[in-house]
Amino acid sequence: MNKQIELQELGEKDYKATWDYQESLFKTILDLKIKNRREDLSLETPNYFLFVEHPHVYTLGKSGDMSNLLINETQLAEKGATFYKVNRGGDITYHGPGQIVGYPILDLDNFFTDIHKYLRFLEETIILTLAEYGLKAERSEGETGVWLDVGTPFARKICAMGVRASRWVTMHGFALNVNANLGYFDNMIPCGIRGKAVTSLNVELGQKEVDVNEVKDKLLKHFKTLFEAEFVTK
């Protein structure tokens, strides 16, 4: 089993271009797995982890409701935002500057074949990272992502999640609000959940700006421990 994960820093990159790139990596792994099975081979499959920041964009998952986007095409253009229907789970999500987006493209045969465990580990990566900033982040039963003040009238989401998996290969991932412009969340019903607020790490810490690279380092540290993985750069 290959527990090495190739880390790629994509910087700021268009959502559709990144999605296409994810798909190409995803297909590379799937094709290799199919080749191994058909030809009775045991070629090692690669794993990838992409860090990226997107320009303003709204994406709607397979089970999403279009009515959860509260603005039309003209208003999207006025706000400098784009919109895509995508092949991940979940409902509507916003991505934009000041947000850390992580896309693990893993062959779970290299780690464990349990999609629920995978999702719990993604959540735990975020929870442990936020704990280092003195925040008690939690899961919210029946609601995706990572939240603060769960079970109170002040519950608010700080990290959205949505994944796709086929033959135990994953894509898409998480979006953690670090220095996000929360005004953009007013243009949608986040993840289709009414009456729930959204927050960002800088807001919770009362800081103008949080060091994004420091947050990434903490995320990678906890991801590495949970998945018993090794990160490499090429």
Q: How many helices (H) and strands (E) does the chain have?
A: 5, 12
203 class by beta-carbon count within 10 Å (0-12 exposed, 13-18 middle, 19+ buried): middle
Residue 65 lies in domain: 4-232
Q: Average pLDDT, stretch 76-80? A: 92
Q: What's the mean per-residue pLDDT of the chain?
A: 93
Distance (Å, whole) CA 209 – CA 215: 12
Active site residue: 25, 148, 191, 219, which one? 191
Is 188 annotated in a binding site? The answer is no
Cβ-count burial 127-166 (b if 16+ within 10 Å, e if not): bbbbeeeebebbbbeebbbbbbbbeeeebbbbbbbbbbbe
The answer to whether the pTM exceeds 0.85 is yes
Here the tokens at position 38 are 């058909």
State the residue for tokens 């690669």.
Answer: 46
> For this structure, is 191 an active site residue?
yes
What is the DSSP secondary structure assignment for residue 24, as one 8-state letter?
H
- Cβ–Cβ under 8 Å, residues 77 and 55: no
- Split into its structural domains, the chain has a count of 1
Q: Tell me: the pLDDT tens digits for 109-153?
A: 999 999 999 999 999 999 999 999 999 999 998 888 999 999 999
Q: Average pLDDT, stretch 184-213? A: 87
What is the pLDDT at residue 93? Answer: 87
Here the tokens at position 1 are 């089993």
Is 89 annotated in a binding site? The answer is yes
Inform me whether the pLDDT recorded for 208 exceeds 70. yes
Is 144 annotated in a binding site? The answer is no
Q: Average pLDDT, stretch 14-31? A: 97
Helix (H, G, I), strand (E, B) or coil at 140: strand
Distance (Å, whole) CA 11 – CA 34: 32
Lowest-confidence region among 62-76, 93-107, 161-175: 62-76
Q: Average pLDDT, stretch 32-58? A: 96
**Cross-strand partners of 103:** 50
Here the tokens at position 50 are 């992409």
Here the tokens at position 16 are 């559709």
What is the pLDDT at residue 61? Answer: 84
Inform me whether the pLDDT recorded for 203 exceeds 90. yes
Instruction: Report the candidate in 112, 106, 123, 3 with the shortest Cα–Cα distance to residue 50.
Output: 106
Q: Residues of the chain with pLDDT > 90: what percent? A: 80
What is the pLDDT at residue 147? Answer: 96
Distance (Å, whole) CA 17 – CA 212: 22
Cα dihedral value 101, 131, 226, 178, nearest 10? 10
What is the pLDDT at residue 191? Answer: 56
> Length of the chain, please?
234
- What CATH number does residue 60 fall under? 3.30.930.10
What is the pLDDT at residue 193? Answer: 60
What is the pLDDT at residue 190? Answer: 64
What is the pLDDT at residue 159? Answer: 96
State the residue for tokens 């994509």.
Answer: 10
What is the pLDDT at residue 188? Answer: 86
Is 90 annotated in a binding site? The answer is yes
What is the pLDDT at residue 124? Answer: 98
